[in-house]
Amino acid sequence: KIRNGHEPEFLQAVEEVAETVIPYIQDNDVYLGKKILSRMVEPERVISFRVCWVDDNDEIQVNRGYRVQMNSAIGPYKGGLRFHPTVNLSILKFLAFEQVFKNSLTTLPMGGGKGGSDFDPKGKSDGEIRRFCQAFMAELFRYIGPNTDVPAGDIGVGAREIGYLFGMYKKIRNEFTGVLTGKGLSWGGSLIRPEATGYGNVYFANNMLKTKGDSFEGKKVVISGSGNVAQFAAEKTIELGGTVLTLSDSSGYIYDKDGINAEKLAHVMELKNVKRARIGEYLNTYPNAEFHKGKTPWNIACDIALPCATQNELHEEDAKTLVANGCICVSEGANMPSTKGAIEVFHEARILFAPGKASNAGGVATSGLEMTQNSLRYNWSREEVDKKLKEIMEGIHSACIAYGAEDDGYINYVKGANIAGFVKVADAMIAQGEL
């Protein structure tokens, strides 16, 4: 707290882990006296750099770029890049810290990292995005590599940005390697990678529902966000027989009481990915829906809630409303969307609750599969990757049960994910000495 007191999101993420992991350390002699958690909260390396680029008015713009290389005990640093005006060191350290546990849970050999910039992609032309990405990579390339650190996308960094970043890396290094994941299919990308986080989240929620003999069939589902994760969480929900009632972006949420079906979702994808429009424009085509400006969708009655937008978007009061309205399952697609108070409400109500580090791990897991395919110089089929993704999500679910079951039989997935993620990294750190 003394060292990181000015970093609230990072402290929040660490406290959530510490609450469950410290009692576990105290019960297990092998971890005692090794300062494992103190070592884990200190990034191995933090890089901050200047990014200068020229906008369409021929003016020089200056942004700050970062890469937090958190932990490499079990593999090369791995984690996304976020381009959003709110990006700062606290946000990136929280994301990198979570990533260490998440990557460990996937069972694949990936350490944890995260990076990005306070660059705001909204309203920028394609040329401005490209020049920014090139300027960003002109510095980042020094610190990354297929065996060192393999970034991917996150908020504001999708297929287009990964393309520009990869193109610049390849030009500077003169090598074609798997240095980034989320690449296009014709140049090293993996099938299912765009879908993986959203699909994986729904697979995880489905695994939770199965423990109650239940499923998505006939369920009302409220989703926040309308970006990569939200879109494919919605797609899989529809496929499994659920009804998607809401989607959102930073301007507000849409509520379609008739359900956002596959055709309507295709329209949302066109709006968000091609036209880069605001979610409210959905009403121009589907006027029966409602748009609630500046609001989050948690007051809409549902069986399942999938927060897929951003951190701290679901507060204690929202959690109380969800529970009061009969919600039985909350599965986080975003990273840390629920506040500490909200998680306490879910736990007290004994409803199914999955923290992002478990339920959204499908994205990085499939990035891990992309790295493997790049190393093999081979591509697996859609079915093969989807099967592996399902197996990985099942494995994470089982690990959460193994470490998270409480005396009354309730599965505390937060505790389960934290301890299961911790054990593998901690064991590797101990084996490698006090470095």
Exposure string for 80-116, b = 16+ CB within 10 A, e = fewer: bbbbbeebbbbbbbbbbbbbbbbbbbbbbebbbbbbb
What residues contact 383, with CB distance under 8 A and at least 6 apart? none
- Give the Cβ contact number of residue 246 at 10 Å: 31
The mark string for 28-67 relative to ligand NDP (x by CB under 6 A, - otherwise) is ----------------------------------------
Specify the stretch interacting with ligand NDP by CB under 6 A; choose among 45-53, 142-150, 245-253, 339-347: 245-253
Residue 78, annotated as binding a ligand: yes
For the bound state, the minimum distance from the C-beta of residue 296 to ligand NDP, rounded and expressed in Å, comes to 8
Contact call for residue 339 and ligand NDP (CB under 6 A): no
Residue 367, annotated as binding a ligand: yes
Contact call for residue 151 and ligand NDP (CB under 6 A): no
Closest by Cα among 110, 102, 70 to 370: 110
Specify the stretch interacting with ligand NDP by CB under 6 A; choose among 58-66, 151-159, 397-405, 421-429: 151-159
Contact call for residue 117 and ligand NDP (CB under 6 A): no
Contact call for residue 333 and ligand NDP (CB under 6 A): yes
For the bound state, the minimum distance from the C-beta of residue 367 to ligand NDP, rounded and expressed in Å, comes to 8
Q: How many C-alpha atoms does 121 have within 13 Å on its Cβ side?
A: 24
For the bound state, the minimum distance from the C-beta of residue 318 to ligand NDP, rounded and expressed in Å, comes to 13
Q: Of these, 7, 9, 128, 154, which contacts ligand NDP (CB under 6 A)?
A: 154
Contact call for residue 416 and ligand NDP (CB under 6 A): no
Q: Give dist(CA 352, CA 211) in Å, integer.
A: 10
Contact call for residue 310 and ligand NDP (CB under 6 A): yes
Q: Give dist(CA 329, CA 194) in Å, integer.
A: 24
Q: Give dist(CA 222, CA 389) in Å, integer.
A: 23
Q: Going by DSSP bridges, is the β-strand pair 220-224/243-249 parallel, antiparallel, or unpaired? A: parallel
Using an 8 Å Cβ cutoff, are 322 and 305 in contact? yes
Residue 379, annotated as binding a ligand: no
Which phi and psi (to 5°) does residue 416 adopt? -60, -45
3-state class (DSSP) for residue 120: coil
For the bound state, the minimum distance from the C-beta of residue 62 to ligand NDP, rounded and expressed in Å, comes to 22
Q: Of these, 76, 115, 227, 368, which contacts ligand NDP (CB under 6 A)?
A: 227
Residue 197, annotated as binding a ligand: yes
Size of the site for ligand NDP (CB under 6 A): 24
Residue 243, annotated as binding a ligand: no
Tokens 């605001």 belong to residue: 278
Q: Of these, 36, 191, 208, 229, which contacts ligand NDP (CB under 6 A)?
A: 229
Specify the stretch interacting with ligand NDP by CB under 6 A; choose among 136-144, 302-310, 400-408, 411-419: 302-310
Residues 357 to 386 in contact with ligand NDP, rule: CB under 6 A: 360, 363
Contact call for residue 299 and ligand NDP (CB under 6 A): no
Contact call for residue 79 and ligand NDP (CB under 6 A): no
Q: Give dist(CA 33, CA 35) in Å, integer.
A: 6
DSSP 8-state class, residue 352: E
And the tokens for 56? 């369409």
Specify the stretch interacting with ligand NDP by CB under 6 A; choose among 62-70, 205-213, 328-336, 418-426: 328-336
Contact call for residue 309 and ligand NDP (CB under 6 A): yes
Residue 331, annotated as binding a ligand: no
Q: Contacts from 374-379 at CB under 8 Å and sequence distance 24+?
A: 374/146, 374/177, 374/178, 374/188, 375/146, 375/178, 379/190, 379/191
Q: Which residues are catalytic?
A: 114
The span from the first CA to the last CA of the chain, in angstroms, equals 22
Q: Of these, 90, 197, 206, 373, which contacts ligand NDP (CB under 6 A)?
A: 197
Contact call for residue 155 and ligand NDP (CB under 6 A): yes
And the tokens for 112? 């944890």
- Give the Cβ contact number of residue 252 at 10 Å: 17
For the bound state, the minimum distance from the C-beta of residue 144 to ligand NDP, rounded and expressed in Å, comes to 18
Residue 124, annotated as binding a ligand: no
Q: Which residues bind ligand NDP (CB under 6 A)?
A: 153-156, 158, 197, 225-230, 249-251, 308-310, 313, 333-335, 360, 363
